[in-house]
Chains A and B, each alone.
Chain A
Amino acid sequence: MAVCSGSLIRVGKVPFPFYVLHKASDCQQRVKKPVGRSSRKVKVNLSASLATSDEGEMQDDQLHENSRMKNFHNAWVKIESTIKDVLHNINADVFNEVDSWVHKSFDSICSNGKPDANKATCAYPIVTDVTAKQIFTALVVMNNMEFVDDLQTFADLGTHLQSHGCHVANLSSVDFSVKSGIGGCLRSLLRQILSSSIDVADISVLASWYIEHDNYKHPVVVIIEDMDRCSGPVLSDFILMLSEWVIKIPVILILGVATTLDASKSILTSKAVQHLSPSKFFLGSPADRLDAIIKAVLVKPCSGFLVGHKVAGFIRNCFLRQDGTLTSLVRAVKMALVQHFLMEPLSFAVNGLLDEESEESTSVAEAWPKQAFDLPSCSRRLSEPKSEVALDGPSKMIEVMNLWSCVVLCLHEAGKKQKTTLLDLYYEALDPKLYNLRHSDHLELKPDSQRPSWIQGINGTSSKMQKGGLIGQTTRQVRDLSPAALLQLVEKWSKQTDGFIEIHEKVKELQLQEKIEDDTLKELANRSRRQTIRNSGNLDRSTKTLNDKAAALISCMTRDHMQPIECIPFHEIVCFKNVDKLQAALCGDPRRRIQLDLLECHNFLKCSCCGKSSNAPSSSMHDTTLMYTLAQEHGDLINLHDWYQSFRAIIFQKTVKERHRMKVSPSPKKRKMTAEPQNITEASVQARFCRAVTELQITGLLRMPSKRRPDFVQRVAFGL
């Protein structure tokens, strides 16, 4: 193998399939790592946008860059651990359930006799009783068509069981492929259980290991995370083999199934199914997990990083329309985080902001850096004539954001009965336009009403917000709640708003009124039935008033305290809004973009020779782009002869033009320029044609001639 630095190594004209370009430079060896894996000194220079000449400023920039990287790291660590905690809490119950089932099953196997050295040395265990060949099997239903979200769940389950004394192997469908056969999965099992490299795929190795030391005191758990994708015959063979050995090695199977419990019957052979003694377990629904993560990561500002309305919309659409996986949502958040700290020079000022733990500490800066006053959100606020110049520091931002998340969570509580998802609510709550609309409506209504301000919103007939939107719907739903449900809701609000005096007091007031109503109800119940019937109309009315008040309260909270991040000055420092950048980084669109490259090549090359305005074919164009432009005039089949002729005609077209110009123009310079095209030979045009076709073939935009149609190539893409 060749080792070199920087240059391509080739022998003659044939490149190596692979080579070492260079080894890690020595300078890296000398860099001391501060703390933790990722907190090492990040030698990334992001100052391209902050070019300065002054040395002092440059030093500042360097400091700021380091702060940005540090902030990024802290924010991501925080988000990552939050997600981990959330998922851990969601899965905790199922994990404990599975764990106790595993131990019960193990005890049940052991009740038939514990494995001992005598049995292990037997060449093959003699089992005559069919029931003794049963393998205890947990079917863990993921409730999810996409197994990618549950990869981590099964890895966590493995760790959980391991910490409770089990020998665990996590296998996946890759281990159960037809190609690798039973040897492949067995090898993988042995590798994980025995923690060493085993070349021979022999189950007796596992049996011998199992009776060594104290290994036999614990069950062997085999987790197969995505049974639906395994090869049926291989998995069936594996199960049959395990069933033969189950007395010697008490294996317990945990199979992840996507949605249906019948999966085992449809994948496995009936003989294998007979050996399974199944139990069912259900993981939390993906919707619950989604809500919990949205709540912990995006609604509650846990990391000093937030996303804008459009970005939230993009993430929401990705989830709902394209992918539907939590994994992609988390990936999108990480990507947004990376892009934010890369693009926002002032993100160095995020330090400790919005971090709950740092509230008491002094790490939150008291004021924004002076450069922040040039931010659009700040200058816009300063330019507003009537607004009081409320350019508060970071602590105020934390306060506003906490209030916002408190109201969003109250709304979510209110919408839970109607299965309102937090993702939708979160998206709408971030909309700055809706917020401004709510405020303008409020200002319009104010002079007409004598009622207390917090009742206004719900009764404001012209409120556009009330007409549609999830928040409007949720608010209206509060009016239709039963007294018991209302009582529960207000209690939840009370808990949720604890610590936010301005809202909490109003909720308490409502709770008090409810209590009075409740007492009245009890009193009425004690009276005679006749009286009750007479008074039930009054009771209904009073309950209705209570519902109205609750609806008005949430409406008021929404209007006054749910200020989206994009309406707060200086939000650019913590809020990522560049949805285009995020989209481009997350989901490349080669099919569209490569075609656009070819059709609008001038946008990239910006050459002076080709026409600036139109993309009309001309001989100066890049050959492949010219050919692709010409291909647009054909149907799905392109006649090679015609295509070549039109290409050739355009290549020679210039020559004629130039000749004409040469005749007209006396300038020797122009005459010189035209000398080149005259040299074009037929063979060179054919060569250029061939290369352009090859390039289009590489991009996959053309299918080559078939034996049936040797004179035609086929277009693959139609429209962008």
Chain B
Amino acid sequence: MDENDMIDEEEYEFSRNYFLAKESGKSVKKSSAHKVSELNLADEQELRAEVSNIEPRHEKEIALLINSYKKLYNEWVFELRYGFGILMYGFGSKKTLIEDFASTALTEYNVIVVNGYLQSINLKQVATAMAEVLWDQLKMQLRSASGGTSRDQQPFNSRSMDDLIAFLDEPHKTENECLVCLVIHNIDGPGLRDSDTQHLLARIAACSHVRIVASIDHVNAPLLWDKKMVHVQFNWCWHHVPTFAPYKIEGVFHPLILAHGGTSQSVKTASIVLQSLTPNAQSVFKVLAEHQLAHPDEEGTCLTFSVFKIHHVLGDIWYD
């Protein structure tokens, strides 16, 4: 059959390319033994400053391209409504596009955004937030329907993940469809990439009150899911929406390749140490760092922070 031939041809082409690349790789390696250190590299701080000041290019075209997807919003809403999950892929940051879609076309839904490009994401907290917004909506509907007060619920943050999923999935008798839309930037991001998290996300996505909109950037992202997840739980509807917008926020946590190895290693090490802390300790560090960033001109570094000052800055966290 013609189609078979085409597939064979493609496979042949693929393996040929691979071996050619391997071959040329060897020859290049032989001839080119240049080292990065031979380059006249800028100081890391200067490099970082330059990275944050890179002049945007093709801005107009990128804006036009992102704008051109607006006409698809209605289709996406329709697909979401009828049980499909929207999965966006293509080169470029899709953060602006998805958030614009969620803010303009999904106003009827509760929308929760997860930044999957961050290193650590607590899905239990996400599920709790989802249950809370759903409960708020249900309460309002039940109140308006019965005219009285609705029954009380056990606080969601003390519930187990299974309970939260059961709540998001259980049928609630309401006048309108109550849905929570989970928007996940980079569902294939470092914080969500492991198998357990993906299974948990898939279980959440399969709940009757949940709809999911996600983006992927990695070419091998589909390998994260098995057939049950793809066909039954996420039920993806794929949309190819390249934006060519810079991965500004998504790339923040990647070390710069031309920066000295030592620093990137220390950033990595610091992030591992940070991840191992309890959420409360993490937030303490966060507040301290934010305070420092917000007051760059103030004298003294973190080390010379007075006890009084720390007390003042962290007061909200400790006494809340």
A500 part of interface (Cβ distance < 8 Å) = no
Q: Which residues of A contact B220 (CB under 8 A)?
A: 590-591, 700
What CA separation (Å) do A689 and B122 show in the bound complex?
33
What CA separation (Å) do A335 and B39 show in the bound complex?
53
Number of interface residues of B (CB under 8 A): 125
Q: Is the CB of B54 within 8 A of A13?
A: no
Q: Which residues of B contact A187 (CB under 8 A)?
A: 162
Q: Which residues of A contact B103 (CB under 8 A)?
A: 5-6, 21-22
Q: Mark A260-271, 1 if CB is under 8 A from B, else 0.
A: 000000000000
A594 part of interface (Cβ distance < 8 Å) = yes
A146 part of interface (Cβ distance < 8 Å) = yes
Q: Which residues of B contact A687 (CB under 8 A)?
A: 42, 47, 50-51, 53-54
B133 CB to closest chain A CB, in angstroms? 6
What CA separation (Å) do A704 and B108 show in the bound complex?
43
Q: Mark B282-314, 1 if CB is under 8 A from A, else 0.
A: 000010011001100000000000000000000
A491 part of interface (Cβ distance < 8 Å) = no
Q: A590-B221, A690-B258, A694-B254 are in contact. Are A44 and B77 (CB under 8 A)?
A: yes
Q: Is the CB of B34 within 8 A of A682?
A: no
A23 part of interface (Cβ distance < 8 Å) = yes
Q: A148-B232, A593-B240, A710-B261 are in contact. Are A317 and B3 (CB under 8 A)?
A: yes
Q: Which of A363-371, A373-381, A530-538, A634-642 contacts B (4 or more CB under 8 A)?
A: A634-642
A113 part of interface (Cβ distance < 8 Å) = no
What CA separation (Å) do A715 and B36 show in the bound complex?
18
What CA separation (Å) do A705 and B232 show in the bound complex?
38
Q: Which of A101-109, A115-123, A556-564, A595-603 contacts B (4 or more CB under 8 A)?
A: A595-603
Q: Is the CB of A20 within 8 A of B129?
A: yes
Q: Which residues of B contact A605 (CB under 8 A)?
A: 58, 61-62, 65, 244
Most buried by A among B36, B133, B196: B36
Q: Which residues of B contact A623 (CB under 8 A)?
A: 57
Q: Which of A233-241, A289-297, A320-328 contacts B (4 or more CB under 8 A)?
A: A320-328
B94 CB to closest chain A CB, in angstroms? 12
Partner of A597, one of B40, B91, B232: B91
B149 part of interface (Cβ distance < 8 Å) = no
Give the size range of A's interface with the partner: 35 or more
Q: Which residues of A contact B8 (CB under 8 A)?
A: none
Q: Is the CB of A20 within 8 A of B108?
A: no
Q: Is the CB of B162 within 8 A of A188?
A: yes
Q: Which residues of B contact A634 (CB under 8 A)?
A: 21, 24-25, 28
Partner of A33, one of B54, B177, B221, B240: B177
What CA separation (Å) do A589 and B162 show in the bound complex?
33
Q: A23-B110, A635-B27 are in contact. Are A28 and B240 (CB under 8 A)?
A: no
Partner of A698, one of B61, B218, B231, B258: B218
A89 CB to closest chain B CB, in angstroms? 22
A331 part of interface (Cβ distance < 8 Å) = yes
Q: Is the CB of A686 within 8 A of B47?
A: yes
Instruction: Scan residues 171-200 of chain A and give those whose CB is less than 8 A from a CB of chain B.
Output: 174, 179, 187-188, 191, 197, 199
Q: A19-B112, A595-B219 are in contact. Are A11 and B61 (CB under 8 A)?
A: no
Q: Which of A242-250, A514-522, A579-587 contacts B (4 or more CB under 8 A)?
A: A579-587
Instruction: Scan residues 38-85 of chain B and give those whose CB is less than 8 A from a CB of chain A.
Output: 38-42, 46-47, 50-51, 53-54, 57-58, 61-62, 65, 71, 74-75, 77-79, 81-82, 84
A671 CB to closest chain B CB, in angstroms? 20
Q: A686-B50, A719-B18 are in contact. Are A17 and B111 (CB under 8 A)?
A: no
What CA separation (Å) do A693 and B29 show in the bound complex?
20
Q: Is the CB of B107 within 8 A of A25?
A: yes
Q: Which of A34-42, A351-359, A390-398, A542-550 contacts B (4 or more CB under 8 A)?
A: A34-42
A231 CB to closest chain B CB, in angstroms? 14
Partner of B141, one of A29, A46, A637: A29
Q: Is the CB of B222 within 8 A of A694?
A: no
Q: Is the CB of A635 within 8 A of B28?
A: yes
Q: Which residues of B contact A334 (CB under 8 A)?
A: 82
What CA separation (Å) do A8 and B117 show in the bound complex?
15
B97 part of interface (Cβ distance < 8 Å) = no
A688 part of interface (Cβ distance < 8 Å) = yes
Partner of A641, one of B17, B35, B50, B82: B35
Q: Which residue of A is nearest B176, CB measured? A: A33
Q: Which residue of B is nearest A588, CB measured? A: B238
A29 CB to closest chain B CB, in angstroms? 6
What CA separation (Å) do A601 and B243 show in the bound complex?
10
Q: Is the CB of A637 within 8 A of B28?
A: yes
Partner of B256, one of A12, A317, A625, A694: A694
Q: Is the CB of B191 within 8 A of A17?
A: yes
B257 CB to closest chain A CB, in angstroms? 5
What CA separation (Å) do A157 and B232 show in the bound complex?
18
What CA separation (Å) do A325 and B228 show in the bound complex?
10
What CA separation (Å) do A716 and B99 show in the bound complex?
31
Q: Is the CB of B62 within 8 A of A635?
A: no
Q: Is the CB of A686 within 8 A of B216?
A: no
Q: Is the CB of B89 within 8 A of A590?
A: yes
Partner of A684, one of B21, B50, B129: B50
Q: Is the CB of B47 within 8 A of A715?
A: no
Q: Is the CB of B222 within 8 A of A588?
A: yes
Instruction: Scan residues 680-713 of chain A and give those whose CB is less than 8 A from a CB of chain B.
Output: 681-684, 686-691, 693-695, 697-701, 704-705, 710-713
Partner of A325, one of B27, B89, B163, B231: B231
Q: Which residues of B contact A644 (CB under 8 A)?
A: 36, 39, 258
Partner of B227, one of A199, A323, A588, A607: A323
What CA separation (Å) do A199 and B154 show in the bound complex?
14
What CA separation (Å) do A711 and B41 show in the bound complex?
14
Closest 3 CB pairs of A and B: A635-B25, A588-B238, A687-B50
Query: Can you give 12 contacting A-B residue pairs, CB < 8 Å?
Result: A17-B118, A18-B113, A25-B107, A76-B82, A331-B235, A586-B238, A588-B87, A597-B244, A635-B24, A694-B257, A698-B247, A698-B251
- Please name 14 further chain A to chain B contacts, defined as beta carbons within 8 Å, in addition to the given A48-B71, A691-B246, sorted by A numbering: A17-B121, A17-B191, A21-B112, A21-B183, A24-B133, A27-B107, A28-B108, A44-B74, A44-B77, A148-B231, A317-B3, A331-B235, A683-B46, A695-B251
